[in-house]
Each structure stands twice: as structure tokens, then as C-alpha cells.
Amino acid sequence: MRYLTLALLVALPVVAAAQKKADLPPLSYVCRMMGDEDVIEDKPGKCPKCGMELVPIRLVSVFTCGSKPGLAVQEGPGKCPVDGTPLERMTMAVTWTCPGVATESMSPGVCRDGTPMKANYTLRPHGNHNPQHGGQFFMAPDNWHHLEGTYPRAGTFRMYLYDDYTRPLARDKAKAVQGHIIVRGQTYPLTLAPNGRYLEAKIDGVNLPAAVEANVKFVPDGKSNVFDFSFNAFSKEPASAAVTTASASAGKPAVTTAAAEKPAVTARAAATPNAPAPAASQTTAAPAVTAPTVDAALAQVPVPDTVPEMLQQLKARTDQIKMLIDRGMFADVYVPAFQAKDVAVALEAHQQALPPAKRAVAEPAIAKLVRAAYMLDAFGDLGNKQQISAAFDEFASASKDILSAFPQ
């Protein structure tokens, strides 16, 4: 049985509408109760949180328009035909239908007129963790609120608030949010902007790089949540980003397309907080920081065949995780963490060749690393540096034990 957030499932293979059933992603079983969308099981049953009957679903990871999720769905990167922005990778639910038929199928097939059934893609909660304003995007511990911190210019920190579908938080809910930030030991209040689109704090004399600790209560009597942001360059608003507003409605947004789903390289990597700001925004003497479109730590490579190569990759991925944490790129840590996990699982098959004393070290270390990889994924989404650093300490300790147990 699995009890995972959607963030753990976005590496599922992409499915085309006309492919064979054997190639389909496996059925998952999810809870329909609002707030329990993080419950995903691999077999039918009842929700362990609310007791409702779980329903079947197929989850896929696709590239689609950030401004209009579900439009121009395709397997790989591209441009949105509406605004020209790069397509973003999102987790969506896929079903198939025929024209004029209201029912949906969990598998592709042929309509009565002989044409292939068309794929419909529906955005899922937590399916879009891409920054909307060029900042750093985190999920709150309550699994519903999401936020994005930006540093558009020296002395200005902004926090955009979203629901679990990455829709801007309705003004009445945004007004209830309270918080402050801490920068270099100084505390600054977060106040709601007159337009209601973000919380803002004015910071005195802080150029780049800037480390910001945000303390946020989403409801007045709620618990304070800590999010750590790190800015090496000013946040750059997407060139063609559509300005959206939120209504008080919490209805589920279903999106459909008639066109033909966490990934190895995320859309967040292309919108890294290290991306340079336009010249007009560079109001301080801080140098422009130019980052590659895809960080080397986020490039997926296959698991090697030999033990020495596996150990080499494990060490490289461990170093990359530390580098991403040091850069404040918490939301991308899961990529090298899960690849290191795959290497550790592959090393299990080679444990029997070890002397008993070495095997006694390797076996628990592999289990410890796998567990720590999932912790890094979860804490990376939450954006708490203290938690993710503690998880990395456990991960690094397990990696060191594995490296010492196997022959180099």
C-alpha cells in the first residue's frame, strides 16, 4: 500500500491516446474528499483519513500551457500557442471519451464511428508546483496552501498565495494570512498589497544575494510555518504571464483537450531563482548571475551496470543534493535524491557478494538512504531549510556507509 503525495508520482510515463492498454500507467486509487487528495493507494479500499471509498484514476505527467493547463498537451517541452511561454510539466489525470458521449473511459479505445477515443486531461491537486512569477514555490504543511516568494528588486520581498490547484488565493482568504520575514536578524512585517495579489515586505539595504526566512500563519489561530528562500538574482516575471484573479469558489477546475506528467528535469529548473533579471531591474551593484537552462544536477542518467560506476554516481548525486540545498533550490532536490535512491536499490542485488561484516553495514544503510530520499522530497516541497538539512544529514550518512561497504 502506498500513501504518497502527488509529488512522488510525477515520474510516471507519458501516455498517448491511441497506445495499447499494456502501456498505460497503472491505476491509482485516490480520495475524493477535499483536503485528502494526498491519499494515493495502489489498490481499492477506503481512505485512511476520512473513510470514503477510494476511486480509480490514471495519473500522467505532461507538458502543457502554464496559463491554460490542459491546452497543447504533449510529451516534451514546447511553446504555448496562446502566449508563447514555455510549456510547463504538470501532473494530470487522463481519461478517454468519444464525441457526444458523456461517459469517460479509464482506457483508450475506438468510438462507434471507428475513430480513436480522445484523451481528456484534468488538472489534479498539487499537479502544478511551477513558479508563476519567477520565484521559489513551496507547499505548506497543511497540503492545501501553496506560496511563492519573489525578490523582484532590492528591498522588496513578495509572497504570492495559492490553493492546491495553484490558483491565486481568494482575497478573503489572503486577508486572513499573517506573517513576517527575517533577513539578517531583522524582522519585517508582511502586509497584503492593495490589489490583494500578494503579501509584501520592505527590506532596508539588502542587495544580492538575499536569504529570507518567512514565518506564515494561514489562519489567525493557526500554527506558524517557516519557509526559507534564497535569492542569488532578482526574480524575473515571465514575459507573457497572464494576470489571473481568484474567485471565492473552490470548485474543481476540469480542463479538456482533443490534442494528442516529479520529472527528470522540471519546469522549475528552467525558471530557477538564479536566472538573471533584465537590465532595467538591476538597480544595485550586485553582478548578474547567469544559470544554465538545465542544471547538471537535474539531468537524469541511467543507473550504471557495474558496482564501481554505481558508487561513483551515488557520490555525485550526494554532492549535487548538497549543492542544491546550498543554493536554496529546495524544490529541485528530489531529482538527484530519487536517482540516488534508484542506485541504492540497484546495489541491493550486489549485497550477497560482500563479506558478512560489510553486508551488515550496507543493508541498513540502503534502507536508510531510500527513506531519506523521500524525506528530502517532502521537505523540499515544504521549503524549510532546517528540515531539509536534517534529512540530508541522514541521507549523507547513509551514502557514506554504502560507499564504505562496497569495493570501489
> Hey, where are the domains in the chain?
1-126+249-265, 136-231, 301-405
The predicted pLDDT at position 204 comes to: 83
Q: What pairs with residue 228 in β-bridges? A: 213
Rounded Cα distance between 27 and 294, Å, is: 31
The predicted pLDDT at position 254 comes to: 35
Number of C-beta neighbours around residue 251 at 10 A: 7
How many degrees, rounded to 5, is the angle at CA 123 between CA 127 and CA 339? 30
The predicted pLDDT at position 22 comes to: 42
- Which among 353, 373, 375, 378 has a CA at the least distance from the CA of 363? 353
The predicted pLDDT at position 295 comes to: 57
The predicted pLDDT at position 216 comes to: 97
Q: What residue ranges of the chain have pLDDT lower than 50? A: 1-22, 241-294
The predicted pLDDT at position 243 comes to: 39
Confirm whether 136-231 and 301-405 share one CATH topology. no
Q: Which CATH number applies to 136-231?
A: 2.60.40
The predicted pLDDT at position 292 comes to: 33
Architecture of domain 301-405: Up-down Bundle (1.20)
- Which among 226, 207, 217 has a CA at the least distance from the CA of 330? 226
**Which residue is associated with the grid cell 544595485?**
284
Task: Please report the sign of the dihedral spanned by the C-alpha atoms of residue 15, residue 20, residue 23, residue 29.
Answer: positive
The predicted pLDDT at position 310 comes to: 96
pLDDT tens digits for 168-201? 999 999 999 999 999 999 999 999 999 899 999 9
Contacts of 43 (CB under 8 A, 6+ apart): 1, 29
Number of C-beta neighbours around residue 391 at 10 A: 25
Please say whether the beta carbons of 263 and 11 come within 8 A: yes
pLDDT tens digits for 345-363? 999 999 999 999 999 999 9
Rounded Cα distance between 226 and 330, Å, is: 13
